[in-house]
Amino acid sequence: MGEFELLDAIRRRLPASAPRVLLGSGDDAAISVPGGVTATSVDALVEDVHFRRGSGSLQQIGRKALAVALSDLAAMGAEPGEAYVVLGIPGDLDEQGCMELLEGMIDLAAETGTTVAGGDVTRAAALTVAMTVVGHAATAEALVTRSGARPGDALVLTGELGGAAAGLLLLEAGAEASPTRGSPSRFEPLSASNLYGGRGGAVESALLARQLEPRPQLEAGRTLAELGATAMIDLSDGLGGDAMHLARAGGVHLRVDASALPIQAGVTEVAAAAGREPLELATSGGEDYELLATLPVEQLDAVTAALEAKGTRLTRVGEAIAGEGVEIRLPGGGNLQPRGFDQLRWKASQ
Amino acid sequence: MGEFELLDAIRRRLPASAPRVLLGSGDDAAISVPGGVTATSVDALVEDVHFRRGSGSLQQIGRKALAVALSDLAAMGAEPGEAYVVLGIPGDLDEQGCMELLEGMIDLAAETGTTVAGGDVTRAAALTVAMTVVGHAATAEALVTRSGARPGDALVLTGELGGAAAGLLLLEAGAEASPTRGSPSRFEPLSASNLYGGRGGAVESALLARQLEPRPQLEAGRTLAELGATAMIDLSDGLGGDAMHLARAGGVHLRVDASALPIQAGVTEVAAAAGREPLELATSGGEDYELLATLPVEQLDAVTAALEAKGTRLTRVGEAIAGEGVEIRLPGGGNLQPRGFDQLRWKASQ
């Protein structure tokens, strides 16, 4: 199957475009009617850098590629619109594999109201999925950048932390547990079945899903934007690093109360088995794709209630004060220094 | 240098954004105010698929990546707006190399009025440059798709053909001429200096530039759109294949007069030295990035004059008639069957 046949197969599989997309895939360019202003972000997943084939399904890879891109739109409070994909296909991935990857992407696109409006396919040495996503808002003021935090703002967080890092440890443990001699594990082999009585355990499944099927917090992002968030970022690199982006962009100091951080169920056990600290996974692990935002304190109750009504937990984890930096205060006194958890991930947020 | 330092270096180098871009690189997403409707296209260049490092400079690679993406906007008649880049960096490309590549991209962005508004960098096995470009138009009707050709329309072409393919042959000849035993050349070693008296020859330089520094025909595309082109496409895959896209999308038969095709100076000589036909390079070589359009016959003189005033040659190369297909009529009778010239290029237009 050549490129044109594959592109035709992909185009046939794409659902109908949203009304905003006047012309979808198949011409020199897609034509779209934006709704006021656009928010555009790009993100790429590269095999053996951001994922390993075999750790998850091809559907999960396609789904995750779109999810991490949409997560940037969530962090702006934008409404998702169009997605454009560059698929770099290695020689050992056949047409069926490409279509499986696309299925995962299309599923998430349908769930989020995103139109896959165009793309390019090319051969590549390693499986590569580069996504560009375009979101919409009525005005620029309706969007939330990283730079608006003000001293006195509350620092809030959606959902729970550490799950994606724990999921990665579980995946790596499964890989390391295979009888490969001469390459010592970075941590004790950790069979998932040791922890939770088999691969079907709900807690373990939730951790794996956090790593393999992250969810962009689009609705929470729009709610936060509508109800007065002053700055917002998605946690792709980890709480420590991403908080630093907010602190630098806004010229504020962010004080995080480590004891307030919501840690996902199972993270503590996985961290212990791997000889790591749960807080390390929660603050440096990255890839949880929750939203970290600053908010005037008087808005806190309204936002918390609005998100709770939609099933999203919001936790106040700290505050913005004068200065410029980030500190994560430990319960017993002292500060945690977040550090890079996974040197393999060399991902840059937009 | 880590990812963040490289991103910072890139951001510092980017020129100021156009007024349309309210927020450029450095946040979760770029914010832009579109001008009516948008035309969006993606294109990726991958090392050893679309280019070889060493055949040209890193600046040329960066420049070409943006050029081929903008060429799709030219084919819509859109005004170029924003560009977003995913840079996949192999281990043997250092920071300086990345910045050189970016310089080429920025140069062309400045020449065309394009704002590089965001991007992502990642490690990759092979140098990869994926571009998303967004163009603007007041209304969808102001843009030209592939599908509007009508029987009776003239088939017109900007510029000249075959230069990019001849340039590639010259580059390959240079590579093949090195003393590699056991891998017979696909054609006789062809030293550029044999043909034109040294690497400084203007004809040869022009052929190499066609391959290494293609120019998107943005102004010609807008002129064609304004003056009534009914369908348009850029020649990335070659006249034969790209004409077929127009024919299928419009439901017309395109009859091309081979003797009318404008062949770039030097193509005939390079083809002869390589044991190929000039017409093969002109119709199947691809990468000339000229525009092929259909046009009501009564518009022909006005468009030709308008383009000539801007220094762009327009040639009537055939016509659209009822039916569905493409034929390239040879002077002596019979038809040319265009075929894939370069199996290495597995590029799909948008």
How many whole angstroms separate alpha carbon A194 and alpha carbon A200?
Answer: 12
pLDDT score at A333? 82
How many whole angstroms separate alpha carbon B251 and alpha carbon B246?
Answer: 8
Cβ–Cβ contact B143 with A under 8 A: yes
Q: Are B235 and B288 in contact (CB under 8 A)?
A: yes
CB contact under 8 Å between A22 and B37, yes or no, is yes
Work out the pLDDT band at A1, boundaries 50, 70, 90: low
CATH node for B3-140: 3.30.1330.10
Q: Are B164 and B205 in contact (CB under 8 A)?
A: no
Percent of all residues in chain A with a pLDDT value above 70, rounded to a whole number: 87
Q: Kindly list the residues from chain A whose CB atom is less than 8 angstroms away from the CB atom of residue B7.
A: 348
Positive/negative CA dihedral, A29, A30, A33, A38: negative
Q: Kindly list the residues from chain A whose CB atom is less than 8 angstroms away from the CB atom of residue B120.
A: 42-44, 130, 347-350
Scanning B27-66 for CB atoms below 8 A from A yields 27-34, 36-44, 46, 48-50
pLDDT by 10-residue block (mean), chain B, 350 residues? 75 84 89 92 94 92 97 97 95 94 95 93 94 96 96 98 95 56 38 49 92 97 98 95 94 96 96 92 93 98 98 98 93 72 31
CB contact under 8 Å between B22 and A37, yes or no, is yes
Two structure tokens written together for B46: 């991958």
The residue-averaged pLDDT of A48-65 equals 93
Strand segments, DSSP code E, in chain B are 21-23, 30-32, 37-46, 79-89, 115-123, 128-137, 154-158, 231-234, 253-257, 291-295, 314-321, 325-329, 335-336
Q: Are A60 and A213 in contact (CB under 8 A)?
A: yes
Q: How far is CA A109 from CA A59, A114, B70, B72, B133, in A?
A: 13, 5, 26, 25, 21
> What is the CATH topology of the domain spanning A154-336?
Phosphoribosyl-aminoimidazole Synthetase; Chain A, domain 2 (3.90.650)
Pick from B159, B7, B337, B305: which is nearest to A346 by CA? B7
CA closest to A49 among chain B residues: B123
Scanning A188-217 for CB atoms below 8 A from B yields none
Looking at the predicted structure, is the pLDDT value of residue A134 above 60? yes
CB contact under 8 Å between A125 and B125, yes or no, is yes
Two structure tokens written together for B273: 């030295």
Looking at the predicted structure, is the pLDDT value of residue A186 above 60? no
Q: Enter the pTM of the model.
A: 0.89
Positive/negative CA dihedral, B16, B19, B22, B28: negative
Q: Are B241 and B345 in contact (CB under 8 A)?
A: no
Cβ–Cβ contact A135 with B under 8 A: yes
Looking at domain A3-142, its CATH architecture is 2-Layer Sandwich (3.30)
Q: Which of A11, A27, A85, A343 to probe by mutation at the B interface, max B CB count within 10 Å?
A: A27
pLDDT score at A179? 35
Q: Where is average pLDDT lowest: A42-51, A177-186, B218-227?
A: A177-186
CB contact under 8 Å between B73 and A4, yes or no, is no
CB contact under 8 Å between B120 and A3, yes or no, is no
Pick from B48, B43, B44, B57: which is nearest to B126 by CA? B48
Q: Which CATH superfamily is domain B154-162+215-336 in?
A: PurM-like C-terminal domain (3.90.650.10)
CA A290 to chain CA centroid, nearest Å: 7
How many whole angstroms separate alpha carbon A45 and alpha carbon A287?
Answer: 12
pLDDT score at B1? 56
- With b for 16 or more beta-carbon neighbours within 10 A and e for fewer, the B102-133 pattern comes to bebbbebbeebebbbbbbbbbbbbbbbbbbbb
* Sequential DSSP letters for B10-39: HHHHSPPPPTTEEE-BTBSSEEE---SEEE
CA closest to A133 among chain B residues: B29
Two structure tokens written together for B287: 């990468």
pLDDT score at B333? 81
pLDDT score at B187? 36
pLDDT score at A249? 95
- What residue type is B334 in one-letter code? G
Looking at the predicted structure, is the pLDDT value of residue A338 above 90? no
Domain boundaries, chain A: 3-142, 154-336
